[in-house]
Structure 1
Amino acid sequence: MYEHPMENGKSGAVMIRFGELFLKSEPVRRQFMKVLIGNIRSALTSHGIEYTLTDNRSRILVRSETPEALVPLLSHIFGVVDIAPALLTTSSLPDLCNAAGKLARKNLNPGMSFAIRARRDQVPGFTSQELGAEAGGTVLETVPGVRVDLTHPDYEIYLEARKEGGIAYDIRIPGPGGLPYGTQGSVLSLLSAGIDSPVASWMIMKRGVKIHFLYIDTGRWAGSDCYKNVLRNLAALSSWVPGIQLALHVVHAQPLYDTLMNECEPRYRCVLCKRGMFMLAEEYATERNHQAIVTGDNLGQVATQTLQNIVTISSAVTIPILRPLIGYDKEDIITLARKIGTFTNEPGNTSCGVVPPKPATAAEITLIKELEEKLQIRSMIPSLLDSRERIAALNGKIMTD
């Protein structure tokens, strides 16, 4: 079994690497780093972890007496490319080689191959190649019966000699990447009990966008497990912004769906339903200064997501609609949902009682607007929004009063 250097709290730190921030101008980079560090601090503080944090420009180091708690939190923070439980040393050649030997002694066995990946930044006295060669010699002396393989090694040790000190590690745990959460404005996501909308939300969150959620409850027309699954999705998404509360507003919209069921030609219900949802979302988003609506639409997946119907539905509002899953295959979406933690093999009854046997797949805008006016759907929006209630999630759990 792999034994990382933080076993029993004996490590110096967890090292955090970040990616896209290097591509930004210096002022933007500083601002993004400020947000990223703030998000890291919020995550650790919300879990009661005592720590010290050092920003060495190209790396963030977090030290804690409970290091085993750092990995699951730090690997769920947007903007983090990967994290590494690390040994901290001075930047001297002997100390870095000694650290390489310590790591190899724990995790390299006779018969295995290994490689040293060395980097040097503003440290005089030796080159990266010399550091790699010296550390490799130390490992060969420490663990007899191993061999060097720089192309396809069984085991790798990373050494970084920096002016702030030396870092040694032998595992990289992936983070989500992307941009720090909260650097790209705010949006309103139409969250559902299904697979697609939470994945779409996660993808937008990954790009640094602050997100709020709206669930449009269809009342008696919703499957008995819809509400439970919406809350499960909300809780799972909150685990990707540890220490930051995610808010969901529930709109009780059964009157709208009663109207669609009783007064609307069945095949047009779904298009009118989706237009009504966008109207509700636009009204709420405008009230809260959100800049766009996010949906899990996937081109051609269901009747409302044909290109013609997407055009017809989108014309109901003027606010931008973001569809991050528009070109994804369903299997790709499911793979992401498993990674995020929103997929379940037993969702229960999440059906919609409004869906007709043969929904329209190419509804004309002019006809839909005429039906919409006849049913007075737009005039229903303000009163429906008055019925909303707020629910919040934090650190993977629904918050209760």
Structure 2
Amino acid sequence: MKLIVKPFAEITIKSRPVRKQFIRQLAKNIRTVLRDLDPELEVQGEWDNLDLISGVTEPKVQAEMFERLRCTPGVAHFLEVHEYPYVDFDDTFEKCRAHFGAQIAGKVFAVRCKRAGNTHDFSSVDLATHVGSRLRRECGAAGIDLRKPEVEARFEVRYDRLLIVHAQHEGLGGYPLGSIE
């Protein structure tokens, strides 16, 4: 299971050394809070978000992890994602169809795409348009509504990684505990 933790917005506007200190403190707090549920938990990243990689598969333990993350100061929200290598538009569509195809059949949907990295020759709108039009044609969707969709197909392309978002959980916000000197 992979989670992407987005820190509280006020942390991201701080100066470089302060921001790194807050993110390191948040990572330390997350490791401490989740250590008894998953001793093998990996927490990576030190700038704009934290990647949590866990081998936990039991639903009760995952639910407890999510509850603890929701109550951790410094966490704005976190995403449950599946990670794949980014290949091209068609491969992205195939992965999205596998994850969202059954959910959007007969429903109005929207595609939400984010992109990070200067290595791409396309915009997030180009990719979302391609994936959305093919999902509509090939999955039997009722239509596309960007304002009030019944289902949102969300994914991110970060450099050479494709992250398909399954759920977003809101966090407590605020600054990480132990970060004020």
Larger relative contact order (Cα-Cα within 8 Å, sequence gap ≥ 6): 2
Gaps (5+ residues) in structure 2? Answer: none
Q: Which structure has the highest strand share of the two?
A: 2
Matching residue's letter, 1:76: C
Look up the SS of the partner of 1:82 in the other structure: strand
Partners of 2:6 and 2:171 lie apart in 1 by 9
SS at match of 2:68: helix
Identify the match of residue 121 of structure 2 among 100, 125, 128.
125
- Structure 1 residues 61 and 94: CA distance shift in structure 2, 3 A: farther
> Aligned pair 1:16/2:5, yes or no?
yes
- 1:58 aligned partner: 48
Q: Which amino acid aligns with 1:36?
A: L
* Secondary structure of residue in 1 paired with 2:146: coil
Amino acid at match of 2:124: S
The aligned amino acid for 1:58 is D
Equivalent in the alignment of 1:27: 17
Counterpart residue number, 1:85: 80
Q: Match for 1:159: what amino acid?
A: F
Tell whether 2:152 aligns with 1:162.
no
Partner SS, residue 166 of structure 1:
strand
Q: Alignment RMSD, CA only?
A: 2.0
Partner residue in 1 for 2:68: 73
Change (3 A) 1:33 1:152: same
Following TM superposition, by how much is the alpha carbon of 1:33 offset from its aligned partner in structure 2, in angstroms? 0.6
TM-superposed deviation, 1:106: 4.5
Matched residues, percent identical?
A: 22
Q: 1:34 to 1:181 in 2, by over 3 A?
A: same
The residue matched to 2:167 in structure 1 has which SS?
coil
**Change beyond 3 A, Cα 1:75–1:180:** same
Structure with higher Rg: it is: 1
Give 2:132's aligned residue.
136
Contact 1:156 / 1:170 at 8 angstroms: preserved in 2?
A: no
Three-state SS of the structure 2 residue aligned to 1:172 is strand
SS at match of 1:117: strand
Once residues 102 and 50 of structure 2 are traced to their aligned partners in structure 1, the CA distance between those partners, rounded to angstroms, is 25
Q: 1:28 to 1:127 in 2, by over 3 A?
A: same
**Which blocks of at least 5 consecutive residues in structure 1 are unaligned?**
1-10, 186-401
**Deviation readout 1:52-111 (Å, 9 max, x if unpaired):** 22217322221212154232222221111111111111233334323322221343341x
2:168 & 2:77 partners in 1: Cα distance?
6
Q: Is the 8 A contact 2:109 2:150 kept in 1?
A: yes
